[in-house]
Chain A
């Protein structure tokens, strides 16, 4: 299958490559399918571009939260785990949105509302970890691993 995008050209993909968000993302309920694009040739999926399928004007940059915050401990509710078809968080993949700024140290990530995927069936959801200590906004320069020269 092919996806024609303005910024990234024509992308070829298979149905099973897609991330499936049956409820969309918060504020974007109409986009159910995202094509993950790995922008790094070394297959290090620390950072992905999620390209919306239903609307190719929609794309998000997401980061592997553990790559910037190794002690990240996302906790989902029992309902969320069961929605995704798993018993525990350990079976899931986590991504956090990253808003890009001119200086990448100013980029903002949202550790409170990760995008969560069951890699077995690619079923995904975005959650709000309301009781977690994480913020909706944290700039990359405030991470120990990123900060410094």
Chain B
């Protein structure tokens, strides 16, 4: 991995047509400006994780039986646990 030190308003170039400029650095946050062609996807990494998890959750919800059995098993388990905690 390449690690560079840059100051405010300095840039780095990636390939022929991507430029990333440091606009501001305050505390543990940095503001970046990114110039890139429209066809290049730019995502905050968290967003890509969030989308991935949503896609995984989506594929399973169409199975009514799976949904109902989750409901039943989980409710029983949690209710049992709650009662145990109350009894303790």
Contact = CB atoms under 8 A, between A and B. Distances in A.
Interface of A: 6-8, 25-28, 39-40, 44, 46-47, 49, 57-61, 63, 67-68, 97-101, 104, 107-108, 110, 112-113, 126, 128, 130, 136-137, 140, 145-146, 148
Given A26-B47, A128-B46, A145-B81, A99 B74 contact: no
A130 to B, nearest CB: 5
B54 A97 contact: yes
Interface of B: 46-47, 49-64, 66-71, 73-75, 77-78, 81
A104 B73 contact: yes
B57 A40 contact: no
B54 A104 contact: no
A44 B75 CA distance: 9
Given A6-B62, A7-B64, A128-B46, A104 B53 contact: no
Closest 10 pairs (CB-CB, A-B) = A27-B51, A100-B60, A97-B57, A26-B50, A59-B61, A99-B57, A99-B56, A110-B53, A113-B50, A104-B70
Nearest to B62: A7
B53 A137 contact: yes
A25 B1 CA distance: 33
Given A27-B52, A145-B77, 6 more contacts: A58-B58, A60-B57, A63-B74, A107-B70, A108-B57, A112-B46
Contacts of B52: 27, 136
B78 A100 contact: no
Contact of A39 (B51, B62, B71): B71
A112 B57 CA distance: 14
A40 B61 contact: no
A32 to B, nearest CB: 15
Contacts of B59: 99
Nearest to A57: B62
Nearest to A130: B46
B74 A100 contact: no
